[in-house]
Amino acid sequence: MEIIKRHTDYALRAAAHLAGAGQRALSTSSLAEQEGVPVAFLRKIMQRLKNAGIVESVRGPAGGYRLACSPGDITLRNIVTAIQGPIHMNACFKEPQFCEYSGACELQNLLGEIDRELKMRLDSVTLKTIADRLERKDANALPSSPGGMGT
Could you give the domains of the chain?
6-86+126-140 (1.10.10.10)
CA within 13 Å, CB half, 24 = 7
Count other Cβ atoms within 10 Å, centred on residue 65: 25
What is the reported pLDDT for 143?
54
Residues 79, 49 contacting (CB under 8 angstroms) = yes
pLDDT in tens, 91-147: 777 776 777 777 778 888 888 899 999 999 999 999 999 999 988 766 665 554 444
Q: Does pLDDT of 72 surpass 70?
A: yes
Q: What is the pLDDT of residue 62?
A: 85
Q: Report the phi/psi class of residue 45: left, alpha or beta, with left for phi > 0 and alpha for psi in -120 to 50.
A: alpha
**pLDDT per position as a tens digit, 33-57:** 998 899 999 999 999 999 999 999 9
Residue 107 CA to residue 100 CA, distance in Å, equals 13
pLDDT given for residue 41 in this prediction: 95
Considering only residues 149 and 93, tell me which one the structure prediction assigns the higher pLDDT. Answer: 93
